[in-house]
Structure 1
Amino acid sequence: MDEISTSTLFIILGVLVFCSAYFSATETGMMSVNPYRLKHLANENHPGAKRVTELLSRRDRLIGFILVGNNLVNIAASAIGTVIGMRLYGDFGIAVATIVLTLIILIFGEVTPKRLAALHPERVVFPSTIVLKPLMRVMYPLVWLINWICNNLLKMLGISTEHHRGHSLSSEELRTVVHEAGALLPQHQNMLVGVLDLENATVEDIMIPRNELIGIDINDEWKDIVRQLANTQHSRILLYRDSIDDALGFLHTRDVMRLVLKEQLTKATLLRSVNDIYFIPEGTPLNTQLVKFQSSKERIGLVVDEYGDIQGLVTLEDILEEVVGEFTTHIAEQNSEDIIAQADGSFLVDGGINLRDLNREMHLNLPTDGPKTLNGLVLEYLEEIPQANVSLKLLGYPLEIVEVQDNMIKTVRILPHLKAGS
């Protein structure tokens, strides 16, 4: 290098530091780019995203090339820096060059470009791939040789070198992605999480239990049947004979009105108007039942156990509410029969309320993997049927048994504002 002037060496050193910064920024940018946004942009035919996707499909080659390039320029920069140091300071210049060049490489060739690429990966990697792809073709033989040696060394250590094309996300990991997606509105996040939660709940979690089913006994007096039809608030009515176990089918109020208009409303015409019952096995996950409702074109069904006994009723709307939330306004604000807000900050809650509904409406965290109702949860905890005016603390929530009737807890007072630790 005696023939090359010191000023030229400085220029070459600057170019090498720039190349080091380029390789460092490209490496960090490639690893930091959002894979979901990248895939979206590639599907939209974004040229930069398509180039990055192609390069990332063979990460071993990409990383091998970047490391080879980065080490080559850093070693070359070290050699030239040593020459410059010796020209300026003699033998002492070696120490000076080592210290100064280390600082320069760290600041301008490593830390700064990597931090920039981590903050703005797309701005860095999209244009850098224009240069990166042809460079990889030129240096492919050297990169292939180094990768071949590395792969064989790993095989000797018993480590598999098979390419992993990507790992599918579990529902818990996907739930974390949804929660961390800052661009989503809270209600959209809740809906996406609701979809994921469908696989963790079964029809028993949301069904109307058997003892709360409302229907019409065809063997009742005709005037009682007409009164029930006139006062019903449901679009579909369960018709049975003597007991729920002898269910005959569902009446649609539209068909009843048609019979009324034709003045043909009788017990016989009601029996002919019922639709067949759609039965749902207990334990069916909500996501599975949603698909079954769609494929069978049904909107309502009766849940039965392994013996064929009716356990409750589930509708398509019940499942959809698990995703989008209640179709009505807040239950406590409506002075609901199930949850009634009190002036002292407590709530009077119906003991038969579904725990999932209670958790959602009052933002509680009561367990739902056991009993499905508040009554069942309290009885399981106490292991006996309590008397009225008994107070307890259930999972940190202060409760008071207000009313017990027919061996069931009818009303409970919940004081969430006094929860332990709050």
Structure 2
Amino acid sequence: MTDVILAFLADYWLSLLSVICLLVISAFFSGSETALTAASRSRMHTLENNGDERAGIVNNLIERRDRLIGTLLIGNNLVNILASSLTTSLLIGLFGDSGVAIATVAMTVLLVIFSEVLPKSWAIASPDRFALAVAPLVRPFVVVVGPISSLVNAIVRRILHLFGVNLSSDLPMLSAHEELRGAVNLLHREGSVIKADRDRLGGVLDLGELEVSDIMIHRTSMRAINADDPPETCVREILESPFTRLPLWRGSADNIIGVVHSKDLLRALAEPNVEPETLDIVKIAQKPWFVPDSTNLKDQLNAFLRRKLHLAIVVDEYGQVQGLVTLEDILEEIVGDIADEHDIDIQGVRQEADGSIVVDGSVPIRDLNRALDWSLPDEEATTVAGLVIHESKSIPEERQAFTFYGKRFTVMKRVKNRITKLRIRAAEDEGQVG
């Protein structure tokens, strides 16, 4: 029997070598598919900008991911089928009809271990390095076989269309912002990105989704100067104010006629023969800038930078003043105002000894979420009080309590129709509004 096998190997060594080469090529296709689909696009773009030609090839290949995968699958299946056919032919000549079963088992083991698991495990361990190594070899194959892959993809899409499944190669499943946000959240869960950095990156991504009305200082909390007050009163209010810019109104709070900067006031008072009693506050006021309350924060930030201004008056669609927004308000949406990720350090929030949180009703939901790592929804309401009113479908009385989103909200203080203070604690049993 040994002599027969040796004689067989002597006669068919070329075929055996061909099978081994095909297994190696199959491993190359499998590893290349895994590496090129898992490679970091951002890292490849960085390397390409730094002059790495191989990174440029990788970027060109993954721009049409469906064509790349289809081409590699075609190549992989071709070599697998050819290797299996050669092996079956060889073993039939050696063992007769039982050679089919032996070839099936042998090729299954060899293909799974050496052409699938091994190369893919290697590729996924270092996808960027693997992709850079194989990209120059994959590109010419994609150029040759790519049209066939495109044809196959078109046939597949047509078949799926018959069953009501429509695939679009132009529209990604996730937007670039969603992919970036998901990556940041994943890195945060893995411990690679701390909460503060995650919140800053999330703040940048949220700018396009938030409107000025979500972060503005409401007109009820807005500090402003009455131009009809005596000049010395206006001067004293401006100098005692913690803000460097204050709106100036006349007749009614809706009639904003200017914005007074404390530096302009000090500069005017430094002029010869100018006293607070004789100062014309209107003359030193800057022209007010009005912006719609529906402007998103990304556009408003760009407008602040373009105009080189720091404050804007927010109006609704009827031109009524709703509040004001500053450049600092938008920047705080990015950097936050939390001193330490484990401490509560936002105005209007106090943690009690029993673990509950006492919150002013005007505290923005986003600030509370960022401070406590909660996930209360802020789509329908901007403040905590607004959230309670929205969920309860009423204006609650004092000591009324509601349970939603895993939290127990108790109204501690109400002034007229405004909820001014609440206590929040973890709900023992999550349920609907009660």
How far 1:149 sits from its partner (Å)?
6.4
Q: Are 2:248 and 2:256, in contact at CA under 8 Å, matched by a contact in 1?
A: yes
Q: Are 1:205 and 1:356, in contact at CA under 8 Å, matched by a contact in 2?
A: no
- Residue-pair matches, total: 415
How far 1:279 sits from its partner (Å)?
0.7
TM-score by length of 2: 0.80
Q: Residue 131 of structure 2 aligns with which residue?
A: 125
How far 1:325 sits from its partner (Å)?
0.6
How far 1:236 sits from its partner (Å)?
0.8
Distance across 2 between alignment mates of 1:379 and 1:83:
77
Distance across 2 between alignment mates of 1:382 and 1:3:
83
Task: Specify every segment of 5 or more residues in structure 1 that has no aligned partner in the other structure, as ranges.
Answer: none
Residue aligned with 1:247, SS: strand
Instruction: Give the 3 Å change call, closer, same or farther, for CA 21–313 of structure 1 in structure 2.
Output: same
Q: For 1:13-412, list aligned pairs within 5 A.
A: 13-57=19-63, 62-63=68-69, 66-86=72-92, 88-133=94-139, 140=144, 143=145, 146-147=148-149, 150=152, 153=155, 157=159, 164=169, 167=172, 169-170=174-175, 171-181=177-187, 184-262=193-271, 264=274, 265-266=276-277, 268-326=279-337, 336=347, 338-380=348-390, 386-388=396-398, 390-395=399-404, 396-412=406-422
Instruction: Give the 3 Å change call, closer, same or farther, for CA 399–273 of structure 1 in structure 2.
Output: same
TM-score by length of 1: 0.82
Distance across 2 between alignment mates of 1:191 and 1:181:
14
Percent of pairs with identical residues: 33
Distance across 2 between alignment mates of 1:117 and 1:248:
66
Distance across 1 between alignment mates of 2:66 and 2:313:
56
Amino acid at match of 1:167: P
Q: Residue 4 of structure 2 aligns with which residue?
A: none
Q: Are 1:303 and 1:310, in contact at CA under 8 Å, matched by a contact in 2?
A: yes
Instruction: Give the 3 Å change call, closer, same or farther, for CA 213–68 of structure 1 in structure 2.
Output: closer
Task: Specify every segment of 5 or more residues in structure 2 that has no aligned partner in the other structure, as ranges.
Answer: 1-6
Q: Which moved more, 1:278-287 or 1:179-188?
A: 179-188
Q: Which moved more, 1:277-286 or 1:215-224?
A: 215-224
Instruction: Give the 3 Å change call, closer, same or farther, for CA 357–54 of structure 1 in structure 2.
Output: closer
Query: Could you give the per-residue CA deviations for residues 122-179 of structure 1, whole angstroms, max 9, x where no partner exists?
Result: 3333223444445667xx3xx4785586478568759699994673842434422332
Instruction: Give the 3 Å change call, closer, same or farther, for CA 292–85 of structure 1 in structure 2.
Output: same
Distance across 1 between alignment mates of 2:10 and 2:417:
100
Residue aligned with 2:264, SS: helix
Q: CA RMSD in A?
A: 3.8
Instruction: Give the 3 Å change call, closer, same or farther, for CA 358–281 of structure 1 in structure 2.
Output: same
Residue aligned with 1:345, SS: coil
Distance across 1 between alignment mates of 2:103 and 2:308:
78
Q: Are 1:218 and 1:267, in contact at CA under 8 Å, matched by a contact in 2?
A: no
Query: Could you give the per-residue CA deviations for residues 247-271 of structure 1, whole angstroms, max 9, x where no partner exists?
Result: 2211111112223333523454322
Query: Could you give the per-residue CA deviations for residues 51-73 of structure 1, whole angstroms, max 9, x where no partner exists?
Result: 33344456676556544543443
Query: Could you give the per-residue CA deviations for residues 172-209 of structure 1, whole angstroms, max 9, x where no partner exists?
Result: 34422332346545433322211222222221211111
